[in-house]
Structure 1
Amino acid sequence: MNDSNRQNTESIQDIIKEIDKKQIVLPDFQRDFVWDESKTYELFDSLVRDIFIGSIIYGIPSFEIAVREIDMRSRKTKGKKREPLKTLFFTKEQINEKVKVGNFRAVLDGQQRITSIYRALKKIDNIWLILKNEDEFDQDKDFNEMTVEEMMFCFSGKQDSVRLSINVGDAFEMIENKMREKPLQEKYFDNLEFVKQLDVENVDYYFERFLIAVSKLQDLFKAEKMVSYFLLDMSSEKFALFFERSNSLGVRLDFIDILVAKLSSGFRLRTKLEELKMETGYNIEREILVREIAFLVSKNEGKSISIDKGYILSNLTCEHFQKYWENTCKLYINVLDFLFKNNFIMTQDWIPHSNMLIPLMIFLDNLPNKLFSQMNETQLEFVKYWYWGSIFAQRYTGGATNEIIILDSKILTLIAKEEKISNENYFRDFNMIIDHSGDLYNFTKKGSAVYKGVLTFINYVSGGLTDWKNGSKVSFNEKVDDHHIYPKAYLQEYISEEEDLVYIDCVVNRTLIPKITNIKIGKNPPDKYLNELYSNNDKLKESLRKHMIPIEIMDGDYNEFFSVFIEDRAKRIFESINEHIIRKKELIKECHYQERKKPIGNNIDIFARYNKITINAKFNRETQEVFLEGMKYNSVSTAANAAKKKISNKDTSTNGWNFWKYRDGEEEKSIIELRD
């Protein structure tokens, strides 16, 4: 191994600078950037926790090569298309010159990681570091002595209204923008949702914490040993071999494998999973079953509900699996059956978010006799809205998925028990990312839950998509493809308008049909292959209507007007989304929301937990005074600080509105909900 091939390290800041100077580029034959934002949350979580993210591998090609820039395009654009990435061609001599005068290199492995980091720090993607609240910290450590890992609650795509949040792009921007504290506070801090809720007396305290956390995050970006890389000087033959072999190595070991080993003495989890698959014919998603059991265990043992990996590995035992396994399997199979029979899904491969099965299992577990047939009409309407609304609002795409699963499980428990939702904020989470037919053009990848959601939504609205060969409904275990309605090969050969070519892979030019039918279609134009199918299936036109495809396509009317076909079909799809989801929001809220009952009397019981000690007090809703151990405090935050000092003997500053809790029935809520 020569010196250039040895392992080195570099800082995130250096990577960003090199990308800006066009010294880090991508070979043009690299695949596109495909990570959704949830992958970026996991990446930054690993960086903060000092978990090895794998080495970046760069190459210095010793031959002519076409390269392109890092993808800096917005994920969502109104209208028809995104600008193509710029491509440059360098001769061998030009590459040698660029290597001499700079640190020119091409990314061979690590494109998704580098692009994700760059997009976050340049604020192309909004990635937020959410900090823990006071009662979640290690109380034996001062805040300015903590690491970012110790401060961190999670990474997310949006700021948290009840926790201090920092946009990682803002933190990086502040490295270069050496601003005084006052303008810095006005630009980056004052408009945070969390800050807007603070009492005036707490603003300076949290601004100081904001600055400390930003500084530590910046140190992370500047750390020279943050990212490991190899720099390879490669011939064209080695380049080809690298890409041929780089994705074929490695064994994936996840936390379920570790759990299997832990339970092996008393519960043979792997064997049970195999038996369940044999009995049902379903592909069993073992993580869904395990998280469901974790939910039931933590709930029924009177603990704070948890389904995360740490809780599962630390707390679940053989006895838990023996107790809950049979019921959990029945719930899982019955939920899948319900989703398929009611056309929410076509096959398991096309479930947009498998994690959504968990709240549905909890919902079923709380229905009479654990039967979906016991639902009334209003419960069914809520389930429909919740399912599709969550997909098209991307509620399950993000760093806090476990919290969403737990919240939705609690909400669906209320619905199953025919009780009302008292949290009005819950309905604000259903903000659709598709509010115009043109938004559909942006979804081109099967890995996107919205892409899957659009195609399975068409199946739902149609009452079940049918096969074009014989008009029969697609069976649950059938192999289904996202078929190009206008085949890719046909468009590339016969469509000359470059603006039309951007629609080739968009979801509007796709529909779900059995794989064998897709293979036989080949690269023929739709009017040709559809009429051949029609000669053997007189139900084809009705099938096309189910697929939301204009039947005029069979006459060749769209062959020279591909973009018109895309526009017409996009309008049909969006009109259905609007009818079945967007316009239902207020009706669903009106039916299932009920403003919380005001506690009787002005003084109510409140409590807080700090250092594993429960503190009890009284809160006057009219005067907003807190009565604690015979003392009256005019501010909820001052009372919180006093309570914490009695326990830790330390002076702290706390947002009392989030610190103090009250009980609304069985549910614990922060008193900020009583503030108005």
Structure 2
Amino acid sequence: MEQTQSIKDLIVDIDEKKVYLPEFQRDFVWEISKTYDLFDSLIKDIFIGAIIFGIPSFDIAIREIDNRKKIAKGRRRPSLVVKTITKKEIEDINKVGGNFRLILDGQQRTTSIYRALKGTDEVWFISKNEDEIEAGSFENAKLEELLEEISGEQDPERLSIRLSDVWDIEQNDYDEDEIRDKFFYTTAYYKMYSSDEEFDRKAEFKKFRNLRKKIADLFKSEKLLSYYLLDMNLEKFVVFFERSNTRGVQLNFIDILAAKLYTGNFNLKEKIKEFEIQNPNIYLIPEIIVRSIAFIKSSPKEIDRNYILTSLNADDFKRWWDSACKLYKVTLDFLYQNNFIISQEWMPYDNMIIPLMNFLQEVGGDFHRMNLNQKKFIEYWYWNSIFSLRYSGSSNERIIEDSNILIQIAREKKINSSSYFNRLSKIQTLSTDDIYSFDKKANAVYKGILNLINYEKSGLINWNNDAKLSLNSSLEDHHIYPKNYLNQLLTTENEKDLIDCVANRTLMPKIQNIKISDQAPSKYLNEIKDLNKNIEKSLDNHLITTDLLNGEYDNEFSFFIELRANSIFEIIKKRLIDTRDLIKDEFYEEIKYDEAVNINVYSTYKGKKAEATFNPATAKVFFKGKLYASPSAAAIAVKIENGASDTATENGWTFWKFTDENGIEKRINDLRK
């Protein structure tokens, strides 16, 4: 019989040791971006699937929910508690209302929720600004209407609240002063705007409390183990089918779009099939082409699924499909020929193709037309985006921003946003030790490291010969020291934790990987040397010391892994870290305004558009015949004129917007000194 349970009750049950996992359940493997999607679905009341519990009628080994911090720098995490619980113990617990149960299906969802609320994983609710919500105020808006995005970090330009802070406040008897001092005053939003004359601390704290209460109410509502009626808008309909199975058939966004376009005599599925027949060596990702078309058509730029499904039509695809496919092919060819990728399968972020396609279109459809400076910037942008995990969340916003930036570079113009360079510089590998923590193919930095070696060496070559690995090579991330060999050789857990580390991996054809088996490095390498007398060249090409051939390193895994990690980090330092200041000096230009320069600004409040002029040099706004000393003062005047109370507050730097010379809508905070 189906039952319901709130998030709050589930977390409490886990803390009270009423909920466990069978010991044989797979480990928690979700990337953090899936946690963001999960909370996005919960907030939007999109069905996430039922969690299935079971009460075993036999003795069974169980383990706790994985609430360990992510592994870093090759250190070993503490083991999860595993114990055996007997049938009688289970019966005794449940006789007194203990409600002991095991999670049979839904471990990833449960663990994600638990880790987020306990603060193990950073998960932030980023709120819209008050002028962006239809209800007109935080108090009247539903939680879904307030949501801008779920992210791994707070947004200094928007009111943000960490989900674990909401849980902390709910579980502890903090008074108002403690909540304000401990949680609100420490936000980046407060620190950024609290010095503004028009910033009303009391009113902003009230918004913070209101948002916290709404999130707390979400935790208390019965969401997880309940049925949901499919009464949802088109966007939610798409999300539902992308995130769930219906009778074993997985539908996706492209399937639904194809059905829509078919009514306009554009057969999307046939066009996809046609591309695949004509280009057998290229893997087509239809969503990239679709989002590219959305970018071309929209102004301001929008590429989300809701815009695509509601605003794009068959005529748009008839007009731009073929040209977008050509840009796609040329971009992939450029990435491969210039060694940015080894193969499509190993590209860290497929969505990074879209900004490059927009750059390519701007320079005339041929990468040979770009100059040396443009190539230099693309190199910096590409690698820093990967190593900073830039596309791990909010990819639509990243695609739009990066597309606009690369279009600027294509036009040989400077970039006016200093914060853009700061975001690119937040890479995950600032020391050799950081290399050790990357051991999963799903991680973009893991793929990025293998691709960066390929880039540094102007293309990886096959170990059997000197031929460059092709774009469509079937490659595996082979263990240089085979896994089975190391499991027999190594004695300490710290060493074993590094077996799967990227520093012990390199890419090679699958058939070769099978032949290697679990032999000592010197043994299998010398067997390959019988086929390729120049094996030393191949090893050097893969950043592998040729000393492995003589057998002296067979028992020195730790020394080898440190040696190779150092070599990898030297490339990262040269390509990413050492070039930061040089790139910024060359491509950044601060916008300079004098007091005679005003720009047209606008905003919408409760569906009514307000227009004014803004002077970036003085930060004054001229609205309806009156000069206001700050953007916030003018924003408040707009709100009062449209029915808000005299005590209304507003952050003017995010309230007012302008359209730049490229037709891109921006907030005046981009012009702030």
Partners of 1:606 and 1:247 in 2: how far apart?
A: 46
Aligned position for 1:287? 287
Task: Assess, with a 3 A threshold, how the Cα gap between structure 1 residues 649 and 133 changes in structure 2: closer, same or farther.
Answer: closer
TM-aligned CA deviation for residue 620 of structure 1: 4.8
SS of the aligned residue for 2:579 comes to helix
Aligned position for 1:243? none
1:671 paired residue among 660, 668, 673: 668
Aligned position for 1:442? 437
- CA offsets 1:99-153 (integer angstroms, 9 cap, x no match): 44522222221111111111110111110101111221004x5432322101111
Aligned position for 1:277? 276
Partners of 2:529 and 2:176 in 1: how far apart?
A: 71
Aligned CA RMSD, in angstroms, stands at 2.1
- CA offsets 1:53-101 (integer angstroms, 9 cap, x no match): 1111122233333222222222252453333333223344444444445
Q: 1:56 touches 1:228 (CA, 8 Å); kept in 2?
A: no
Comparing 419-428 with 497-506, which one deviates more in the overlay? 497-506
Could you state the TM-score of these two structures normalised by the residue count of structure 1? 0.92
- CA offsets 1:524-562 (integer angstroms, 9 cap, x no match): 121111110011111211111111112222222233222
Partners of 2:615 and 2:346 in 1: how far apart?
A: 52
Aligned position for 1:410? 404
Task: Assess, with a 3 A threshold, how the Cα gap between structure 1 residues 521 and 419 changes in structure 2: closer, same or farther.
Answer: same
Aligned position for 1:491? 486
Q: 1:455 touches 1:512 (CA, 8 Å); kept in 2?
A: yes
Partners of 2:310 and 2:666 in 1: how far apart?
A: 27
Task: Assess, with a 3 A threshold, how the Cα gap between structure 1 residues 669 and 386 changes in structure 2: closer, same or farther.
Answer: same
Q: 1:291 touches 1:307 (CA, 8 Å); kept in 2?
A: yes
- CA offsets 1:640-672 (integer angstroms, 9 cap, x no match): 121233244665321112212345534544333
Task: Assess, with a 3 A threshold, how the Cα gap between structure 1 residues 84 and 530 changes in structure 2: closer, same or farther.
Answer: farther
Comparing 629-638 with 24-33, which one deviates more in the overlay? 629-638
Comparing 124-133 with 666-675, which one deviates more in the overlay? 666-675
SS of the aligned residue for 2:603 comes to strand
Show the 5 A alignment for 1:460-471: 460-471=455-466
Partners of 1:34 and 1:147 in 2: how far apart?
A: 32
Aligned position for 1:242? none
Aligned position for 1:240? none
TM-aligned CA deviation for residue 440 of structure 1: 1.7
1:531 paired residue among 526, 530, 542: 526
Partners of 2:85 and 2:501 in 1: how far apart?
A: 31
Comparing 38-47 with 428-437, which one deviates more in the overlay? 428-437
Q: 1:220 touches 1:226 (CA, 8 Å); kept in 2?
A: no
Partners of 1:247 and 1:643 in 2: how far apart?
A: 48
Letter paired with 1:671? I
SS of the aligned residue for 1:7 comes to coil
Partners of 2:271 and 2:140 in 1: how far apart?
A: 47
Matching of residue 120 in structure 1 with residue 116 in structure 2: yes
- CA offsets 1:33-62 (integer angstroms, 9 cap, x no match): 111111011000000011111111122233
Q: 1:76 touches 1:439 (CA, 8 Å); kept in 2?
A: no
Letter paired with 2:292? E
Q: 1:81 touches 1:441 (CA, 8 Å); kept in 2?
A: no
Aligned position for 2:99? 103
Matching of residue 264 in structure 1 with residue 258 in structure 2: no
- State percent identity of aligned pairs: 47
Could you state the TM-score of these two structures normalised by the residue count of structure 2? 0.92
Partners of 1:225 and 1:371 in 2: how far apart?
A: 51
Task: Assess, with a 3 A threshold, how the Cα gap between structure 1 residues 470 and 634 changes in structure 2: closer, same or farther.
Answer: closer
Matching of residue 426 in structure 1 with residue 420 in structure 2: yes
Task: Assess, with a 3 A threshold, how the Cα gap between structure 1 residues 79 and 504 changes in structure 2: closer, same or farther.
Answer: closer
SS of the aligned residue for 2:430 comes to coil
Aligned position for 2:510? 515
Task: Assess, with a 3 A threshold, how the Cα gap between structure 1 residues 396 and 617 changes in structure 2: closer, same or farther.
Answer: same
TM-aligned CA deviation for residue 364 of structure 1: 0.4
Matching of residue 637 in structure 1 with residue 632 in structure 2: yes
1:54 paired residue among 49, 61, 69: 49
Partners of 1:454 and 1:486 in 2: how far apart?
A: 18
Matching of residue 401 in structure 1 with residue 400 in structure 2: no
Letter paired with 1:593? Y
Task: Assess, with a 3 A threshold, how the Cα gap between structure 1 residues 53 and 604 changes in structure 2: closer, same or farther.
Answer: closer
Partners of 1:426 and 1:70 in 2: how far apart?
A: 38
Give the count of matched residue pairs.
Answer: 648
Letter paired with 1:423? S
Q: 2:49 touches 2:224 (CA, 8 Å); kept in 1?
A: no
- CA offsets 1:439-496 (integer angstroms, 9 cap, x no match): 1222222111111111222212121111112232111112111111122222223323
Partners of 2:631 and 2:288 in 1: how far apart?
A: 41
Partners of 1:337 and 1:568 in 2: how far apart?
A: 33
Partners of 2:599 and 2:500 in 1: how far apart?
A: 58
Task: Assess, with a 3 A threshold, how the Cα gap between structure 1 residues 624 and 279 changes in structure 2: closer, same or farther.
Answer: closer
Partners of 2:452 and 2:620 in 1: how far apart?
A: 51
Aligned position for 2:236? none
Partners of 2:245 and 2:416 in 1: how far apart?
A: 50
Comparing 98-107 with 538-547, which one deviates more in the overlay? 98-107
TM-aligned CA deviation for residue 673 of structure 1: 4.2
Aligned position for 1:307? 303
Show the 5 A alignment for 1:62-211: 62-100=57-95, 102-139=98-135, 142-198=137-193, 199=196, 201-211=199-209
SS of the aligned residue for 1:183 comes to helix
Aligned position for 1:343? 339
TM-aligned CA deviation for residue 621 of structure 1: 5.0
